Amino acid sequence: MLERFLKYVTFDTMSVDEATTVPTSEGQFVFARYLEQELKNLGLEDVLLDEKGYLYATLPANCDKVLPVVGFIAHLDTSPDMSGKDVKPRVVANYDGKDILLNEEAGIVLSTNDFPEILDYKGHDLVVTDGLTLLGADDKAGVAEIVSAMEYLLQHPEIKHGKVRVAFNPDEEIGRGAHNFNVSLFGCDWAYTVDGSAEGELEYENFNAGSATFAIQGRNVHPGYAKGKMLNALRVAAAIVDAVPQNESPECTDNYEGFYHLMSINGGVDSAEVSYIIRDHSADIFEKRMYLMEQVVESMNRRFGAGTVTVELKRQYRNMREMVEPKMYIIDIAERAMMEAGVKPRVKPIRGGTDGAQLSFMGLPCPNLFAGGINFHSRYEFVSVQVMEKAVNTIVKIVQGVAESKK
Protein backbone atom coordinates (compact mmCIF):
# COMPACT_ATOMS: atom_id res chain seq x y z
CA MET A 1 0.00 0.00 0.00
CA LEU A 2 2.77 2.44 0.92
CA GLU A 3 4.73 1.78 -2.28
CA ARG A 4 1.53 2.26 -4.25
CA PHE A 5 0.80 5.59 -2.55
CA LEU A 6 4.36 6.87 -3.02
CA LYS A 7 4.05 6.11 -6.73
CA TYR A 8 0.63 7.75 -7.06
CA VAL A 9 1.70 11.10 -5.60
CA THR A 10 4.35 11.49 -8.33
CA PHE A 11 1.59 12.05 -10.91
CA ASP A 12 0.83 15.75 -11.41
CA THR A 13 -2.98 15.77 -11.33
CA MET A 14 -3.85 19.31 -10.24
CA SER A 15 -7.31 20.28 -11.50
CA VAL A 16 -7.69 23.64 -13.29
CA ASP A 17 -10.76 25.69 -12.40
CA GLU A 18 -10.73 27.85 -15.50
CA ALA A 19 -10.34 24.93 -17.92
CA THR A 20 -13.29 23.77 -20.03
CA THR A 21 -11.98 20.28 -20.83
CA VAL A 22 -12.95 17.12 -18.93
CA PRO A 23 -10.81 16.28 -17.12
CA THR A 24 -9.38 19.76 -16.67
CA SER A 25 -5.75 18.59 -16.81
CA GLU A 26 -3.99 15.97 -18.89
CA GLY A 27 -2.15 14.65 -15.83
CA GLN A 28 -5.40 13.25 -14.48
CA PHE A 29 -5.82 11.19 -17.64
CA VAL A 30 -2.22 9.98 -17.38
CA PHE A 31 -2.86 8.81 -13.83
CA ALA A 32 -6.20 7.24 -14.80
CA ARG A 33 -4.54 5.23 -17.59
CA TYR A 34 -1.91 4.01 -15.14
CA LEU A 35 -4.61 2.92 -12.71
CA GLU A 36 -6.60 1.29 -15.51
CA GLN A 37 -3.68 -1.02 -16.26
CA GLU A 38 -3.00 -1.67 -12.58
CA LEU A 39 -6.60 -2.71 -11.93
CA LYS A 40 -6.49 -5.09 -14.90
CA ASN A 41 -3.20 -6.57 -13.70
CA LEU A 42 -4.68 -7.16 -10.24
CA GLY A 43 -7.53 -9.14 -11.75
CA LEU A 44 -10.48 -6.78 -11.39
CA GLU A 45 -13.15 -7.08 -14.05
CA ASP A 46 -15.19 -4.68 -16.21
CA VAL A 47 -12.37 -2.14 -16.08
CA LEU A 48 -13.54 0.86 -18.06
CA LEU A 49 -11.89 4.25 -18.54
CA ASP A 50 -14.26 6.58 -20.37
CA GLU A 51 -13.42 9.56 -22.57
CA LYS A 52 -13.85 12.00 -19.68
CA GLY A 53 -11.34 10.32 -17.36
CA TYR A 54 -13.79 8.38 -15.16
CA LEU A 55 -12.45 4.93 -14.28
CA TYR A 56 -14.76 2.09 -13.17
CA ALA A 57 -13.99 -1.52 -12.19
CA THR A 58 -15.58 -4.55 -10.52
CA LEU A 59 -14.52 -6.96 -7.83
CA PRO A 60 -16.81 -9.90 -8.70
CA ALA A 61 -18.83 -11.66 -6.02
CA ASN A 62 -17.35 -14.89 -4.65
CA CYS A 63 -20.50 -16.25 -3.00
CA ASP A 64 -23.95 -17.34 -4.20
CA LYS A 65 -25.91 -15.18 -1.78
CA VAL A 66 -27.76 -12.28 -3.42
CA LEU A 67 -26.26 -9.18 -1.85
CA PRO A 68 -26.40 -5.42 -2.33
CA VAL A 69 -23.74 -3.95 -4.58
CA VAL A 70 -21.55 -1.55 -2.62
CA GLY A 71 -19.10 0.90 -4.15
CA PHE A 72 -15.99 2.85 -3.15
CA ILE A 73 -14.98 6.12 -4.80
CA ALA A 74 -11.92 8.38 -4.68
CA HIS A 75 -10.79 11.28 -6.84
CA LEU A 76 -7.79 11.55 -9.11
CA ASP A 77 -7.08 15.27 -8.89
CA THR A 78 -5.24 17.38 -6.36
CA SER A 79 -6.13 20.88 -5.27
CA PRO A 80 -5.16 23.94 -7.30
CA ASP A 81 -4.42 25.68 -3.98
CA MET A 82 -0.82 24.52 -4.24
CA SER A 83 1.39 22.84 -6.81
CA GLY A 84 1.27 19.06 -7.05
CA LYS A 85 4.09 18.86 -9.62
CA ASP A 86 7.29 16.99 -8.79
CA VAL A 87 6.06 15.85 -5.40
CA LYS A 88 8.93 14.38 -3.39
CA PRO A 89 7.44 12.36 -0.54
CA ARG A 90 9.53 11.21 2.40
CA VAL A 91 8.72 8.68 5.12
CA VAL A 92 9.53 9.74 8.67
CA ALA A 93 9.72 6.40 10.45
CA ASN A 94 8.60 6.13 14.09
CA TYR A 95 7.90 9.85 14.45
CA ASP A 96 9.46 11.13 17.69
CA GLY A 97 7.08 14.00 18.49
CA LYS A 98 9.47 16.79 17.50
CA ASP A 99 9.35 19.39 14.73
CA ILE A 100 9.99 17.91 11.28
CA LEU A 101 12.39 19.80 9.01
CA LEU A 102 10.78 19.52 5.58
CA ASN A 103 13.25 21.60 3.61
CA GLU A 104 16.53 22.77 5.10
CA GLU A 105 17.44 25.05 2.21
CA ALA A 106 14.10 26.89 2.32
CA GLY A 107 13.79 26.71 6.11
CA ILE A 108 10.38 25.02 5.98
CA VAL A 109 9.40 23.22 9.18
CA LEU A 110 6.34 21.18 10.11
CA SER A 111 6.10 22.69 13.59
CA THR A 112 4.36 21.15 16.57
CA ASN A 113 3.46 24.67 17.72
CA ASP A 114 1.72 25.55 14.46
CA PHE A 115 0.28 22.06 13.91
CA PRO A 116 -0.12 20.46 17.36
CA GLU A 117 -2.31 17.68 15.91
CA ILE A 118 0.87 16.02 14.63
CA LEU A 119 1.62 15.03 18.23
CA ASP A 120 -1.27 12.57 18.01
CA TYR A 121 0.89 10.56 15.60
CA LYS A 122 3.94 10.01 17.77
CA GLY A 123 5.29 6.54 17.01
CA HIS A 124 3.63 6.44 13.56
CA ASP A 125 5.40 6.33 10.22
CA LEU A 126 4.50 9.62 8.54
CA VAL A 127 4.67 10.51 4.86
CA VAL A 128 5.55 14.18 4.44
CA THR A 129 6.50 16.55 1.62
CA ASP A 130 9.74 18.40 0.93
CA GLY A 131 7.89 21.61 1.73
CA LEU A 132 7.70 22.81 -1.87
CA THR A 133 4.45 21.10 -2.90
CA LEU A 134 1.39 19.55 -1.37
CA LEU A 135 1.56 15.81 -0.78
CA GLY A 136 -1.61 14.71 -2.56
CA ALA A 137 -3.00 12.44 0.16
CA ASP A 138 -6.23 14.22 -0.79
CA ASP A 139 -7.14 11.94 -2.37
CA LYS A 140 -4.39 9.64 -3.54
CA ALA A 141 -4.40 8.10 -0.08
CA GLY A 142 -8.02 7.16 -0.75
CA VAL A 143 -7.13 5.77 -4.17
CA ALA A 144 -4.30 3.69 -2.74
CA GLU A 145 -6.49 2.39 0.09
CA ILE A 146 -9.31 1.31 -2.22
CA VAL A 147 -6.96 -0.43 -4.65
CA SER A 148 -5.08 -2.12 -1.79
CA ALA A 149 -8.34 -3.31 -0.23
CA MET A 150 -9.44 -4.83 -3.54
CA GLU A 151 -6.06 -6.51 -3.89
CA TYR A 152 -6.38 -7.95 -0.38
CA LEU A 153 -9.86 -9.32 -1.08
CA LEU A 154 -8.65 -10.93 -4.29
CA GLN A 155 -5.81 -12.56 -2.37
CA HIS A 156 -8.17 -13.79 0.38
CA PRO A 157 -11.07 -15.62 -1.27
CA GLU A 158 -12.03 -17.06 2.11
CA ILE A 159 -13.61 -13.65 2.83
CA LYS A 160 -17.01 -14.05 1.20
CA HIS A 161 -18.53 -10.98 -0.38
CA GLY A 162 -20.90 -9.76 -3.02
CA LYS A 163 -20.12 -7.67 -6.07
CA VAL A 164 -18.07 -4.58 -5.28
CA ARG A 165 -17.62 -1.61 -7.59
CA VAL A 166 -14.85 0.98 -7.48
CA ALA A 167 -14.58 4.28 -9.30
CA PHE A 168 -12.00 7.03 -9.60
CA ASN A 169 -13.09 10.40 -10.92
CA PRO A 170 -11.42 13.66 -11.96
CA ASP A 171 -11.95 17.28 -10.89
CA GLU A 172 -13.43 16.82 -7.40
CA GLU A 173 -11.36 19.68 -6.01
CA ILE A 174 -13.10 22.21 -8.23
CA GLY A 175 -16.59 20.83 -7.56
CA ARG A 176 -17.07 18.97 -10.85
CA GLY A 177 -16.25 15.41 -9.84
CA ALA A 178 -19.83 14.16 -9.91
CA HIS A 179 -20.90 16.09 -12.99
CA ASN A 180 -20.07 13.31 -15.44
CA PHE A 181 -20.21 10.34 -13.06
CA ASN A 182 -22.32 7.56 -14.60
CA VAL A 183 -24.42 6.42 -11.63
CA SER A 184 -26.41 3.99 -13.78
CA LEU A 185 -23.25 2.35 -15.13
CA PHE A 186 -21.74 2.20 -11.64
CA GLY A 187 -24.77 0.16 -10.60
CA CYS A 188 -24.49 0.31 -6.81
CA ASP A 189 -27.09 0.28 -4.06
CA TRP A 190 -24.88 2.73 -2.18
CA ALA A 191 -21.25 3.78 -2.04
CA TYR A 192 -18.63 5.46 0.14
CA THR A 193 -16.21 8.15 -0.90
CA VAL A 194 -12.83 7.57 0.76
CA ASP A 195 -11.88 11.22 0.99
CA GLY A 196 -11.99 12.18 4.66
CA SER A 197 -9.17 13.26 6.90
CA ALA A 198 -8.33 11.98 10.40
CA GLU A 199 -8.74 8.40 11.57
CA GLY A 200 -12.34 7.41 12.20
CA GLU A 201 -14.06 10.24 10.36
CA LEU A 202 -17.44 9.15 9.04
CA GLU A 203 -19.46 11.91 7.44
CA TYR A 204 -22.95 11.97 6.01
CA GLU A 205 -23.79 15.62 6.55
CA ASN A 206 -22.38 18.50 4.54
CA PHE A 207 -23.12 22.13 3.92
CA ASN A 208 -25.89 23.42 1.74
CA ALA A 209 -23.89 25.65 -0.56
CA GLY A 210 -24.49 28.74 -2.60
CA SER A 211 -22.82 31.89 -3.88
CA ALA A 212 -23.67 35.55 -4.17
CA THR A 213 -21.99 37.89 -6.62
CA PHE A 214 -22.80 41.57 -6.21
CA ALA A 215 -22.37 43.82 -9.25
CA ILE A 216 -21.97 47.53 -8.43
CA GLN A 217 -22.37 50.35 -10.93
CA GLY A 218 -20.71 53.52 -9.74
CA ARG A 219 -20.24 56.92 -11.39
CA ASN A 220 -16.72 58.20 -11.97
CA VAL A 221 -15.88 61.85 -12.48
CA HIS A 222 -12.73 63.89 -11.97
CA PRO A 223 -12.06 63.80 -8.20
CA GLY A 224 -11.39 67.53 -8.15
CA TYR A 225 -14.94 68.22 -9.26
CA ALA A 226 -16.71 65.19 -7.79
CA LYS A 227 -18.86 66.80 -5.11
CA GLY A 228 -22.47 65.73 -5.55
CA LYS A 229 -21.61 63.74 -8.66
CA MET A 230 -19.26 60.83 -7.92
CA LEU A 231 -20.55 57.46 -6.77
CA ASN A 232 -17.51 55.42 -5.77
CA ALA A 233 -18.26 51.74 -6.45
CA LEU A 234 -15.51 50.68 -4.04
CA ARG A 235 -17.19 52.54 -1.18
CA VAL A 236 -20.43 50.77 -2.03
CA ALA A 237 -18.48 47.48 -1.96
CA ALA A 238 -17.21 48.36 1.52
CA ALA A 239 -20.79 49.08 2.62
CA ILE A 240 -21.91 45.67 1.35
CA VAL A 241 -19.15 43.93 3.30
CA ASP A 242 -20.10 45.93 6.40
CA ALA A 243 -23.77 44.89 6.00
CA VAL A 244 -22.99 41.15 6.06
CA PRO A 245 -22.67 39.73 9.62
CA GLN A 246 -19.00 39.91 10.54
CA ASN A 247 -19.16 37.25 13.25
CA GLU A 248 -20.59 34.67 10.85
CA SER A 249 -17.45 34.22 8.78
CA PRO A 250 -15.33 31.03 8.46
CA GLU A 251 -12.78 32.24 10.98
CA CYS A 252 -15.52 32.71 13.60
CA THR A 253 -17.51 29.48 13.16
CA ASP A 254 -17.20 25.72 13.57
CA ASN A 255 -19.21 22.49 13.94
CA TYR A 256 -22.76 23.08 12.65
CA GLU A 257 -22.40 26.86 12.34
CA GLY A 258 -22.78 28.25 8.84
CA PHE A 259 -21.07 31.30 7.38
CA TYR A 260 -20.75 34.00 4.76
CA HIS A 261 -17.27 33.85 3.22
CA LEU A 262 -15.99 36.95 1.43
CA MET A 263 -14.03 35.60 -1.54
CA SER A 264 -13.06 38.70 -3.51
CA ILE A 265 -13.53 42.41 -4.13
CA ASN A 266 -12.61 43.57 -7.62
CA GLY A 267 -13.00 46.77 -9.55
CA GLY A 268 -12.53 50.50 -9.25
CA VAL A 269 -14.46 53.72 -8.82
CA ASP A 270 -16.72 53.21 -11.84
CA SER A 271 -17.69 49.59 -11.20
CA ALA A 272 -16.90 46.81 -8.76
CA GLU A 273 -17.82 43.25 -7.83
CA VAL A 274 -18.09 41.56 -4.45
CA SER A 275 -18.16 37.76 -4.27
CA TYR A 276 -19.33 35.57 -1.39
CA ILE A 277 -19.86 31.88 -0.85
CA ILE A 278 -22.63 30.92 1.59
CA ARG A 279 -22.79 27.74 3.65
CA ASP A 280 -25.08 26.16 6.25
CA HIS A 281 -26.02 22.64 7.31
CA SER A 282 -29.64 23.66 7.88
CA ALA A 283 -31.62 24.06 4.66
CA ASP A 284 -33.93 26.61 6.32
CA ILE A 285 -31.09 28.75 7.67
CA PHE A 286 -29.28 28.47 4.34
CA GLU A 287 -32.29 29.92 2.55
CA LYS A 288 -32.43 32.73 5.11
CA ARG A 289 -28.78 33.47 4.40
CA MET A 290 -29.48 33.64 0.68
CA TYR A 291 -32.45 35.94 1.33
CA LEU A 292 -30.22 38.23 3.41
CA MET A 293 -28.14 38.83 0.27
CA GLU A 294 -31.26 40.13 -1.49
CA GLN A 295 -32.01 42.35 1.51
CA VAL A 296 -28.49 43.79 1.29
CA VAL A 297 -29.18 44.76 -2.33
CA GLU A 298 -32.40 46.53 -1.36
CA SER A 299 -30.61 48.36 1.45
CA MET A 300 -27.75 49.48 -0.82
CA ASN A 301 -30.11 50.73 -3.50
CA ARG A 302 -32.08 52.75 -0.97
CA ARG A 303 -28.84 54.27 0.27
CA PHE A 304 -26.95 54.85 -2.97
CA GLY A 305 -29.71 54.98 -5.59
CA ALA A 306 -31.91 52.54 -7.49
CA GLY A 307 -30.04 50.15 -9.74
CA THR A 308 -26.65 50.71 -8.10
CA VAL A 309 -26.36 47.11 -6.90
CA THR A 310 -27.59 43.81 -8.31
CA VAL A 311 -26.84 40.30 -7.09
CA GLU A 312 -26.57 36.91 -8.80
CA LEU A 313 -27.43 34.04 -6.46
CA LYS A 314 -26.47 30.44 -7.25
CA ARG A 315 -27.32 27.26 -5.35
CA GLN A 316 -24.50 24.75 -5.75
CA TYR A 317 -25.16 21.59 -3.69
CA ARG A 318 -27.28 20.36 -0.83
CA ASN A 319 -26.82 18.49 2.44
CA MET A 320 -26.68 14.76 1.67
CA ARG A 321 -28.16 13.95 5.08
CA GLU A 322 -31.72 13.94 3.72
CA MET A 323 -30.73 11.26 1.18
CA VAL A 324 -28.72 9.11 3.61
CA GLU A 325 -31.06 9.13 6.63
CA PRO A 326 -33.63 6.82 4.99
CA LYS A 327 -30.80 4.27 4.68
CA MET A 328 -29.00 4.71 7.99
CA TYR A 329 -27.96 1.06 7.95
CA ILE A 330 -25.16 2.08 5.57
CA ILE A 331 -23.77 4.24 8.39
CA ASP A 332 -24.26 1.40 10.88
CA ILE A 333 -22.31 -0.97 8.63
CA ALA A 334 -19.44 1.53 8.36
CA GLU A 335 -19.35 2.13 12.12
CA ARG A 336 -19.21 -1.60 12.86
CA ALA A 337 -16.49 -2.05 10.25
CA MET A 338 -14.38 0.68 11.82
CA MET A 339 -14.67 -0.83 15.28
CA GLU A 340 -13.70 -4.24 13.91
CA ALA A 341 -10.69 -2.55 12.29
CA GLY A 342 -9.65 -1.05 15.63
CA VAL A 343 -10.91 2.41 14.75
CA LYS A 344 -13.11 4.62 16.93
CA PRO A 345 -15.83 6.10 14.67
CA ARG A 346 -16.02 9.89 14.67
CA VAL A 347 -19.33 10.84 13.08
CA LYS A 348 -19.15 14.51 12.25
CA PRO A 349 -20.49 16.98 9.68
CA ILE A 350 -18.35 17.99 6.72
CA ARG A 351 -17.64 21.69 6.82
CA GLY A 352 -17.50 21.71 3.05
CA GLY A 353 -18.73 19.69 0.13
CA THR A 354 -17.97 16.30 -1.34
CA ASP A 355 -18.71 14.40 -4.50
CA GLY A 356 -20.82 12.19 -2.28
CA ALA A 357 -23.27 15.02 -1.67
CA GLN A 358 -23.95 15.46 -5.37
CA LEU A 359 -23.99 11.71 -5.98
CA SER A 360 -26.50 11.23 -3.17
CA PHE A 361 -28.93 13.52 -4.97
CA MET A 362 -28.21 11.64 -8.22
CA GLY A 363 -29.63 8.49 -6.60
CA LEU A 364 -26.44 7.06 -5.05
CA PRO A 365 -26.35 7.54 -1.24
CA CYS A 366 -22.70 8.16 -0.57
CA PRO A 367 -21.23 8.94 2.89
CA ASN A 368 -17.56 9.79 3.32
CA LEU A 369 -14.86 7.69 5.06
CA PHE A 370 -11.50 8.78 6.46
CA ALA A 371 -8.41 8.45 4.27
CA GLY A 372 -5.92 9.65 6.89
CA GLY A 373 -4.40 12.81 5.44
CA ILE A 374 -3.88 15.91 7.59
CA ASN A 375 -3.35 19.54 6.51
CA PHE A 376 -4.79 18.97 3.05
CA HIS A 377 -3.95 21.39 0.23
CA SER A 378 -0.72 22.62 1.83
CA ARG A 379 3.03 22.08 1.99
CA TYR A 380 2.48 20.82 5.56
CA GLU A 381 0.30 17.91 4.48
CA PHE A 382 1.12 14.53 5.95
CA VAL A 383 -0.43 11.09 6.34
CA SER A 384 0.16 8.23 8.76
CA VAL A 385 0.96 4.87 7.22
CA GLN A 386 -0.72 3.14 10.14
CA VAL A 387 -3.93 5.14 9.65
CA MET A 388 -3.89 4.30 5.95
CA GLU A 389 -3.63 0.62 6.89
CA LYS A 390 -6.67 1.01 9.13
CA ALA A 391 -8.54 2.62 6.23
CA VAL A 392 -7.74 -0.38 4.05
CA ASN A 393 -8.94 -2.72 6.79
CA THR A 394 -12.11 -0.65 7.23
CA ILE A 395 -12.95 -1.04 3.54
CA VAL A 396 -12.38 -4.79 3.76
CA LYS A 397 -14.57 -4.99 6.87
CA ILE A 398 -17.35 -3.01 5.17
CA VAL A 399 -17.35 -5.44 2.25
CA GLN A 400 -17.41 -8.32 4.69
CA GLY A 401 -20.11 -6.61 6.77
CA VAL A 402 -22.38 -6.12 3.76
CA ALA A 403 -22.22 -9.87 3.14
CA GLU A 404 -23.16 -10.54 6.76
CA SER A 405 -25.83 -7.88 7.02
CA LYS A 406 -29.53 -8.56 6.58
CA LYS A 407 -29.72 -5.57 4.25
Residues acting as catalytic residues: 77, 172
Tell which residue, 302, 262, 259, 264, has the closest CA to residue 281. 259
Tell me, rounded to whole angstroms, the distance of Cα 134 from its chain centroid: 15
Residue 180 neighbours by CB distance under 10 Å: 16
Between CA 137 and CA 166 the distance in angstroms is 18
CA-to-CA dists, residue 386 to 141, 201, 308, angstroms: 12, 15, 57
Between CA 391 and CA 141 the distance in angstroms is 9
Q: How far apart are the first and last CA of the chain?
A: 31
Tell which residue, 126, 8, 133, 93, has the closest CA to residue 372. 126
